[in-house]
Structure 1
Amino acid sequence: MDKNITVYVLSDSIGETGEQVAKAAISQFNPEKYEVRRFPYITDENQIYEIFQEAKSEHSILIYTIVIERLRKYIIEKGNEYNIPTVDLMSPALDAIEQVLGYQPKRESGLIRRLDEKYFKKVEAVEFAVKYDDGKDTRGIKKADIVLVGVSRTSKTPLSMYLAHKNFKVANVPLVPEVPAPEELFLKDKKRVIGLIANPFKLNEIRQERLKSLGLNNNANYASIDRINLELEYSKKLMERLGCKVIDVSNKAVEETAGIIIDHMKKNFGEEMLD
């Protein structure tokens, strides 16, 4: 008895799932010789026809993860014609989900790639926010979708991270009267720069808590009202020079401020900013 088998894996994506299933199934039989041939990015009947011409001369089965109905039917038709077993990995799962949700699947190819791309874009944005947090590297200003500026404790870092999870690359720059603002800020499109300000008494409260958490004296100059007013005055003048949008974050949750920024970006750069 011939104990060889060739498994053809067809996919409208990269075919990794089909290949893993094929190998897992074969391992339960331990044949003397087997081969798994993967054919990714199947988009038309001609590709499928050529694969069947190859498969019909071997002991073979065909496993597929193709959602386009036209191609799925063609595979079933050719499988019957050449007496080659075909295994549809996607339809049982799609049918079950449809039964629970009550509506039909899109049956569009490549959707998982788009999900993957979105995921990696988010990871890239988070890494960007970490790298260009707190003005550590002013080169980030040029590359950023959004640049946040403001004095210490105006929610720049949490906002950067929240917006990164919405796929925006965000750099943030602390404003300190004794430190000149980076030149890159003045070269940036002002619609991409967001100034953050806050009520001085709110900042005083937050900074005192910050000092306390670090085990420092909460009477330090950093938390004094006079120092905070000086910083805020400086930051407001700088924001005027930049001509950027300014948001008072005193009584706003991070999500609320982020929503204002996202609306501002959509208004100025279109809905594609969220893609």
Structure 2
Amino acid sequence: MNSQPIVLHLVSEATGQTLEAVVRACGAQFPESSFVQRSWNLVRSQIQVGRVLAGIAAEPGPVLSSLTTPVLRDALRTGCHRMGVHVENILDSTIYFLERETGRRAERHPGGQYVMDDEYRRRIDAMQYVIGHDDGQRAKSLEDADVILVGVSRTSKTPTCFYLANRGVRAANVPLVQDVPLPAGLLEYRGTVVGLMIDPHTLVEIRRSRVGMMLPGRKFARRRISDESMRPYVDPTRVEEELVWARRLCARHGWPVIDVTHRSVEETAAAIIDMIAHPPLRRMENGTALKK
């Protein structure tokens, strides 16, 4: 294992999200290495490149760039070479590949993916939709949803919906509560409904942590959790029964389920987007595809 973390400079003309996503994905493949990121975003002039180079000189380390403007790319590369620092532009290989395939030259427009076009407006609309249809709100008017997520309390329905909204998906979520009838809007919905499931032991810990955060003081929190009103919410036996009931409910309605126990929100959202894209097939958590 490296004794010292590697200082990694990320230089971008836009928000830096592309670089951060690449480093997050690739860095995870080097668990024995430690990286310290220094982000330089919205770099759009040679003066700003000079400031970046000064920062690199003060804290030397390899450079990953997503600069598209040739003069800025050249200035950064020249400065790094003078310092003996390695620099790599993560967009070059893909841009060259697309230029060969299209037979056209890339425009090299900084932040080209961040434009207020139809896709941008769709994401904003989806975000507003999620806010208005979170946790069972407006459950009578779900016909405009691209997908509806259902599940018992604390199965990551809300964060998954917000991540989907950032991908332009209008997602609503409806909590499943025993002895509470399903809203008519959910039963009448003819689009994709996905149930989110989780390991009961994990859910108990999440709920206990949540209750502890909501109540002042650990001692007080433990006392309140033992009260009759809180006991079913965190009782392992009751939680397991609740999950079995929810799973059977989804099976009865033909709703596919995703186990989120060991999934990140991003992975769950990716699986849901795949289900929306292929509506004739509903993928169950065990990988079996069922005709709808």
TM-score bracket for this pair, using the shorter chain length: 0.5 to 0.7
Deviation of 1:157 (Å): 0.2
Match of 1:251 in 2: 262
> After TM superposition, where is structure 1 displaced by more than 3 Å over at least 4 residues in a row?
93-103, 111-115
Aligned partners of 1:106 and 1:266: how far apart in 2? 31
CA offsets per residue over residues 18-42 of structure 1, 9 Å max, x none? xxxxxxxxxxxxxxxxxxxxxxxxx
1:218 is the counterpart of 2:225: yes
Question: Post-superposition shift, 1:237?
Answer: 2.1
2:278 is the counterpart of 1:264: no
Q: What's the counterpart of residue 176 of structure 2?
A: 175
The CA deviation at 1:94 is 7.7
Structure of greater Rg: 1
Show the counterpart of 2:157.
156
Give the aligned residue type for 2:275. Answer: H
- 2:138 matched to 1:137? yes
Q: Is the CA contact 2:140–2:186 (under 8 Å) kept in the aligned structure 1? A: no
* Percentage identity across paired residues of the two chains: 35
Q: Which residue number in structure 2 is paired with residue 9 of structure 1? A: none
Tell me, in whole angstroms, the C-alpha distance in 1 between the residues paired with 2:114 and 2:205: 47
State the Cα distance separating 1:251 from its structure 2 match: 1.2
Q: What stretches of structure 1 of length at least 5 have no aligned partner?
A: 1-92, 271-275
Q: Secondary structure at the match of 2:172?
A: strand
Counterparts in 2 of 1:94 and 1:251: CA distance versus 1, 3 Å: closer
How far apart, in 1, do the equivalents of 2:69 and 2:173 lie?
44
Alignment of 1:88-237 (within 5 A): 104-105=105-106, 115-189=116-190, 192-215=192-215, 216=221, 217-219=224-226, 220-221=230-231, 222-237=233-248
Equivalent pairs counted in the alignment come to 175
The amino acid across from 2:158 in the alignment is: T
* Unaligned segments of structure 2, at least 5 residues: 1-67, 75-88, 100-104, 216-220, 282-292
Cα displacement (A) at 1:116: 2.2
Q: Secondary structure at the match of 2:164?
A: helix
SS at match of 2:150: strand
Q: Which residue number corresponds to residue 63 of structure 1?
A: none
For normalisation by structure 2, the TM-score amounts to 0.53
Structure 1 pair 94–212 and aligned structure 2 pair: CA distance change class (3 A): closer
Aligned AA (2:188):
L
